[in-house]
Chains A and B, each alone.
Chain A
Amino acid sequence: MNRRDFLKLSTATVGALALPGCMLDGLIESEKTQSPWPPGPEQWIASVCQQCPGGCGISVRVIDGKAIKIDGLASHPINQGRLCAVGQSGLQTLYDPDRIKGPMRRLGGRGSSQWQSLSWDDAIRMVAGKLTEIRERGEPHTVAILAGQARGLMDRLPARFLDAYGSPNYIRTGADGTAKAVLFTQGIETLVGYDLENSNFILSFGYSLLETGWSPVLAHRTYGYLRQERPGAKATIVVVEPRLSATAAKADKWIPINPGTDGALALGLAHVMVREGLYDEAFVREKTFGFEDWRDDHGVSHLGFKSLVLKDYRPDAVSAITGVPAGTIVELAGRFAREKPAVALAERGASMHTNGLYTRMAIHCLNALVGSLQVPGGVVLPAEVPSAPWPTVQGDAVAKKGRSMPRIDQAGSRRFPLASHVASQLPHSIRRGEPYPINALFLYNTNPIYAYPDTMGFAQAFDQVPFIVSFSPYMDESAAMADLILPDHTYLERWQDDPMLPVMKNPVFGIRRPVSKPLYETRHTGDVLIGIAKAMGGTTAAALPWDDFEGVMKGAAKAIFQSGRGTPFLGSPADGQPAASPAPKARSARFRSFEEFWKALVERGGWWDPVYPFDGRRSLFKTASGKFEFYSQHLRRALERAAAEESVDDLLQKLGVVARGDLAYLPHYEPPRFVGSAQDYPFHLNTFKGATYAGSRGARQPHLQEISKSPVGRPWDSWIEINPKAARQLGIADEDWVWVESSIGRFKTRARLYPGAMPDVVNMPLGQGHTANGRWARGRGENPNRILGAEWDRMAGFVAWYATRVRLSKA
C-alpha cells in the first residue's frame, strides 16, 4: 500500500467513524461489467509456432485484428491440431508489455540502461557505416554473428551476409551432437529422425523426449499413440537418465545412471547382445564395417567392435561404472534385441559430458546391432525439403581474405578439431584475443550472458567488444549490454519459412506469417540485414539481391513448387475449431501457377510430402567403406588431418582423451572429466528443462511461470531437487533454502526433496534467475548456468553441461 492509498483509507476510516454505514456504497465499487470490446470480425490465421524449434502449425484466432488465442493447426502433419503449454502461451510474447518498442542506441555506459530511440534509417546507416569502416581497415573477419534457433532461411541469410562481407564467424548456438555421431558412423552429417510410431522397444539415453524433445508435440502425440492407439502390442519405453523426468516417469522403466557413463551402459548392452548372439547378424555382416577384428591394406591388424565389447564391457564391469545392476543390463539387452523393431535414442542429456561424442557413437551402434537403420521403427534419415541453392557468393578480395581466416570460436582448429560451431568458446577467445580480437558482434535470437556456462565469462568478454548489436525484441541480459538494439518482430508478426527439423521422416515446410500487425516499430531481421547490405553497397549488396525477406521466402517456395512433390496442407486454419464452418476440403490438385501455389501455401500454413520411401533415393552410408562403421575411418582421418605435423596421440593428449590407437576410433567409454573434485563437491549438478519452462524465454510468460511444476517444483521460482535421504544427511528439509556451490560460484535456492533424484545427483531447472528480460522474468530464482564450469567434449566442441560438481549446505 502506498502513502496515497493509506491517506485515502485513513480518511475513509475517520469518515466511517463519523458517518457509520454511509460509506459502504462508495467504497465498494459498483459492478463493473468488464465486458470486452464488441467482438468484430473473426478469422483464423495459419502460421508456425516458434516457442521452440518443434515447428508446430498454429491456427491463431484473430478478432478485430487482434490475436486472441493460439490453437494447433489441425491439418499440420507434426502436431495435428494439438499444441503444448508453451505454444499456447505464445500470445504473451506478442503482448509482453516490456518489449523493445523500436531501435535504440546506448547513451550511458554499457548496461547503464540509458537508451535513445533512433529511426530505422539512422540505425541501419549506423551499422552499415561501422561495418564499412571495419572492412576498409581490412578486418572484416573480426565481425561475428552469434545466432540461436535460426530457422530455415534465417539461418542461411546471415551466413551468406558474412560470406559476402568477408567473415567466417557465423556461429550457431544450437546443439548438433547427433549429427556428429551420425557423421562418424554413417558418413552423413545430419540430425536423424526416429520412427517411434512403428517401434516396439524404445531405449532412450538421457533424452527427456516428452519435455525437451526436438519437437515436443510430435513426441507427445507419438507417445499417446504408442500407449493406447496403436493396434497390437504396446511399445516398451525405457529411459536411462539420472533424473526421474516426466518422460522417465511415464516410461515403462526408469534406469537411473551415474552421470556421464551412458556410453559404458550402451557398450555393456552390446556386450550381452554379442555374447549371446542376439544381434542382427545379417545386417552386421553385410552393412557394417569394423565389427570383427580386421587388417588394413598395409596388413596391420585392427581392433574390432566385437572384441572390444567382449573384452572390456562385461555386465559386472559396466555395472561398477554405471551403477546399473548387472541383471538389469542383461535383461535390458535381451529385450532390446528381441522386441524388434527397437531403437536407441541418443540426444541431449547422455552426451552433454566431456565424453559426449563417444557416448553418442556407442548408443548409435546399438541401432546398428539390431539393424534399426532406415527401417520402420528405427533410425531414419530425413527426406529433405526441395530447395534451390543460391548462387555462390563471389565476393571481392577483402571478402576472400577475411573468409580464409580461422574462426573466432576455434571450431575446426586444433582446439576443437571436429567441431563446426563452439559458441561457448567465444568468451575465452575474445578475452584472450585469440586468434584475433573482435570488432563487432551481432546477436540474433540468443542471449549468451544468460544461456551459457560461466555466464560471467561472457559478460566480461562483452567488455572487450567495441560494437555489439542485438536483434532481440526483448531487453534480455545480453541486449541490455548492447550498443545498439535493432528489435526483431516477434514470431507472430513476421514472415519466415520454417522447414521442420529433420526429426520427422517426412519433410515439412511451414510458413510463418504475421497474425498481427507489428505492435511497435520493430523490423524483421532479414529485412534489416538486406537493408544493411544495400546501405553498404558493393559485393555485399550484390550477394543479397532481394527486396525483402518475403522475397527470399518466395524463392524457396518456388523450388518446392517446381519439384512437383508433396502438397500444401489439406485443410484450412478453421478446421478443428469447435463450431467453425467446415472448410471446403482443399484438393491436392496441381497448381497452375506459382502464385496460386503460394496463396495456398500461405493460407494453409505450409507444405509437406506425405510419402516417405524407406528404401529411399539417397544413400544410407557415405563412409569410406560404404557401410556403417563401428570402427570410424572418418574419425581417424579427421583426427589425423587435425594432428597435421604432430602425432594423433599428442593431439588426443591435448584434447583430454585417454584412449590411444584403435580405441580412439571406436566407440568406447571415455571416463568423463568434471569441474570440481568429488571430495569437495560431492554432488553432480544436473540441469534440466521442463515441459513448461523451456529455456530462458518461458520466464517472460506469466502463464508458464504460474502453472504448477511437476513432478515437483515451485511456480515463479527455481528449486533444486535433492534425494530425500541425501538431504536428511545434510539436515535439509523440503522447501528449505540451500546454498549450491561449485568451484565457479554459489547461490541460494529452495530445496525440493524428490525421490526421483539420485543420491549423488542434484537437479535444477533452467529458465529462471534472470537479471533482465522484463517484469515477469527478472529477479526470480537462480540461473544454474551461472555456476557451471566451461568444459567441452573437446573433440566435437559439445558443451559439457553436466560436468559441474557442487556441494550443498543449508542456508
Chain B
Amino acid sequence: MTEGKSSHQRGAVLSGPGLRTETSHSRYAAHFEDAELDLIQPILTTGRGFYRTASVLGVVAAWGLFAWLYQLWYGLGTTGLNRPIYWGLYVVNFVFFIGISHAGTLISAILRLCQAEWRRAITRSAEMMTVIALFFGIGSVVLDLGRPDRVLLIFRDGNIRSPLLWDMISITAYLTISSIYLYLALIPDIAILRDRIPRRRWLYRPLALGWTGSEQQQRYLKVTIGVMSVLVIPAALPIDSWVFAMIIQPMWHSTILGPYFAGAIFSAIAALLIVMGVIRRAYHLEDYLKPIHFTNLGLLLVGMSLIWFYFTFAAHLTVYYGGAAKEQTVFFSKLFGSYAPLFWATMATNVVIPLLIISNRRTRTVTGTIVAAGAVTVGMWLERLTIVVPSLANPRLPYAAGVYHPSWVEWSMTAGFLAMFILVYMLCSKLFPIVSIWEIREGRETALAEARERIEGYLPGWEVLRARPARDDRALQN
C-alpha cells in the first residue's frame, strides 16, 4: 500500500454520493486533473529505455522477417515439418495468439458486465492485447500456408464445411467486434488527447469523431459499450479448437477439446498479468495498477488453473480408461514417451507453480503473481505444442509415424512474431493511453456511489440503517 505516489492522493479524494457528472466539452477540458497527466505522460514523453527495447525487438522482428522471406523463397521445406507432422510451431503460435486474444476483450467484457470496479485500470490494456494478438494469430496461419499467395481464394472458393472457415469467420467477427469495442472505449480518451496534444491533432481529431462528452454522447457510448460487451462474449468462444476436434485424429477427436480450449482464457489472464506488470513498472502506473489488481487476477488465474487441470485430467483419463489403441499410443507418447518432458513441464508451469505462488499469502505479491503468470504463459504454449504434435506424430495407421524438430526458420519466426507483438503493443501504448482515462475518472466520480447503491440494494436491513443518515454515513466511510 505504500507504492502509490503521494502526488496522486489528491486525485483520489472521494466525492460525496451526490456528485453529478457534468459533461460538456469545455467542462471536460477544465476538469483535466493532474492524475490524468500521469496517464498521458507515456504518450508525451518517451524514455531511452523505450528506444533501447524497441530497437532490440526491432532487430529480432527483422530477423523474423528475414526468416519469413527465406521461407517464401524456398517453400515450407525450410521448416521441420514432414509427413505425418504437417503442423508445427506456426499452428501452435496461431492457437496461442488466439488464446491470448481471448484475454482481453473477454476479461474486460465480463468484468464490465459484472461491474467489477477494479476493472477500470486494466480494461484498455486487455482490449488492446486482444486486437493485436488476433492479428498475429491470423498472421501465424498465413505463415503456415504452403501458398500464402493464394490465401484470398478462401473468399472466392470458400468451403463452409471446413472448420478452418468457421474459424476464419469467428476470428473475423471477433476481430471486428473487439476492434469496435476497443475503439468505442477509446473515443473519450482520444478526445482528451486531441485537446491536449495539438501537434497530433491530425491523428486524434478524426479518430475522436467529434467527441465532446455531451450527456447524449455519453449515454450512447455507455449503451453501445454495454451491447458490445455482451456481443463480444460469444464471439470470443474458442472455435479454433474445432479445427482439431472435428477431424478424426487420435486425441483430437473428442468433445472435451472444445471447452478445453477455454484454456485460452487461462493463458490470456497470464499474458495480461505480464503486460500489466510491465506497463506498471515502465510507465510508473503503480497508483493505477495496484496489488489488488494482481491479487484478483492472480486468484482468477489459480481458478482457471484448477479448471484447466480438471479438463486435462478428464481428457487424459477418458483416453486412458477407454483404452482405444490409437489414442493410447498418443497418450503414452505424451505422458511417458518422447513428449513427456514437455507434458510434465506443462503440468508444472500451469498447475504447480501458480498454485504454490498464489495460494501462499506471502508470495502472492505483484512480482509473485507475474512470475506465476510467466510460467503459465510458457506452459500454455507448451500445452498447445503437446496437443498439436503428438497426435500428428502417431497417426491411426502406424506406418507413417514421425518426429518433428522445428527448424531455425520456425524458431526465428516465432521469436520474430513475439518481438513484433510486443513492439506493436509498445507503439500502441505510445499512441493511446494504456489505462483508460475516462473510466478511471468515471470511477472516481461515480463508482463509489454506484457501489454503495448496489450494495444497499441487497444489504439486509439497510432501510433501517438509512433512517439514521449522517452518522452512519460517516461510519461507513471510515
Contact = CB atoms under 8 A, between A and B. Distances in A.
A16 interface: yes
Interface in B46-89: 62, 65-66, 69-70, 72-74
Contacts of A13: 62, 65-66, 69
Contacts of A12: 69, 73
A321 to B, nearest CB: 39
B463 interface: no
A16 B69 contact: yes
A17 B62 contact: yes
Interface string A20-33: 00011101100000
A712 to B, nearest CB: 12
B69 A27 contact: yes
A5 B74 CA distance: 10
Given A27-B72, A27-B73, A10 B66 contact: yes
Specify the main secondary structure of chain B where it touches its partner. helix
Contact of B65 (A1, A17, A25, A28): A17
Contact of B148 (A5, A10, A17, A28): A28
B157 interface: no
Contacts of B3: none
A692 B69 CA distance: 40
Nearest to A5: B73
Specify the main secondary structure of chain A where it touches its partner. helix
A1 B69 CA distance: 13
A16 B66 CA distance: 9
B149 A28 contact: yes
A9 B62 contact: no
Nearest to A6: B70
Nearest to A12: B69
A10 B148 CA distance: 21
Interface string B380-413: 0000000000000000000000000000000000
A10 B149 CA distance: 21
Contacts of B74: 1
Report the contact-size class of chain A (Cβ under 8 Å from the partner): 10 to 19
Contacts of A28: 72, 148-149
Highest count of chain B CB atoms <10 Å: which of A12, A13, A27: A13
Highest count of chain A CB atoms <10 Å: which of B62, B69, B72: B69
Given A24-B149, A28-B148, A28-B149, A16 B70 contact: no
B148 A9 contact: no
Interface string B277-292: 0000000000000000
A672 B220 CA distance: 101
Interface string A23-48: 11101100000000000000000000
A25 B73 CA distance: 12
A16 B73 contact: no
Contacts of B66: 9-10, 13
B71 to A, nearest CB: 10
A30 to B, nearest CB: 8
Contacts of B69: 9, 12-13, 16, 23, 27
B117 to A, nearest CB: 41
A141 B149 CA distance: 71
Interface in B404-439: none
Interface in A145-169: none
Contacts, number: 29
A13 B62 CA distance: 7
Contacts of B73: 5, 9, 12, 27
A1 B73 CA distance: 11
B278 to A, nearest CB: 25
Contacts of B70: 1, 9
A390 to B, nearest CB: 55
Contacts of B72: 24, 27-28
Contacts of B62: 13, 17
Contacts of A5: 73
A16 B62 CA distance: 9
A13 B68 CA distance: 9
Contacts of B149: 24-25, 28
Nearest to A708: B399
Interface string A191-213: 00000000000000000000000
Nearest to A17: B62
B338 to A, nearest CB: 13
A1 B66 CA distance: 13
A16 B148 contact: no
A23 B73 CA distance: 12
A23 B62 CA distance: 15
Contacts of A16: 65, 69
A12 B73 CA distance: 10
A13 B69 CA distance: 7
Contacts of A9: 66, 69-70, 73
A523 to B, nearest CB: 42
A533 B149 CA distance: 65
A23 B65 CA distance: 12
A24 B65 CA distance: 12
Nearest to A29: B149
Nearest to B147: A28
A198 B270 CA distance: 76
Nearest to B70: A9
B41 to A, nearest CB: 30
A755 B74 CA distance: 41
A541 to B, nearest CB: 59
Contacts of A25: 149
Nearest to B148: A28
A10 B62 CA distance: 10
Contacts of A10: 66
A661 B73 CA distance: 78
B48 to A, nearest CB: 23
Contacts of A17: 62, 65
B104 to A, nearest CB: 25
Contacts of A23: 69
B398 to A, nearest CB: 14
A13 B72 CA distance: 12
A23 to B, nearest CB: 8
B336 to A, nearest CB: 17
Contacts of B65: 13, 16-17
B395 to A, nearest CB: 16
Interface in A206-236: none
B56 to A, nearest CB: 15
Interface string A451-490: 0000000000000000000000000000000000000000
A468 to B, nearest CB: 43
Contacts of A1: 70, 74
B73 to A, nearest CB: 6
Nearest to B61: A17
Nearest to B78: A1
A16 B65 CA distance: 8
Contacts of A27: 69, 72-73
A567 B148 CA distance: 61
Interface in B260-276: none
A135 to B, nearest CB: 59
B16 to A, nearest CB: 53
A459 B62 CA distance: 55
Interface string B343-372: 000000000000000000000000000000
25 contacts: A5-B73, A9-B66, A9-B69, A9-B70, A9-B73, A10-B66, A12-B69, A12-B73, A13-B65, A13-B66, A13-B69, A16-B65, A16-B69, A17-B62, A17-B65, A23-B69, A24-B72, A24-B148, A25-B149, A27-B69, A27-B72, A27-B73, A28-B72, A28-B148, A28-B149
Interface of A: 1, 5, 9-10, 12-13, 16-17, 23-25, 27-28
Given A9-B66, A17-B65, 13 more contacts: A5-B73, A9-B70, A9-B73, A10-B66, A12-B73, A16-B69, A17-B62, A24-B149, A25-B149, A27-B69, A27-B72, A27-B73, A28-B72
Q: Which 7 interchain pairs have the tightest Cβ spacing?
A: A28-B149, A13-B66, A12-B69, A27-B72, A9-B69, A13-B69, A13-B65
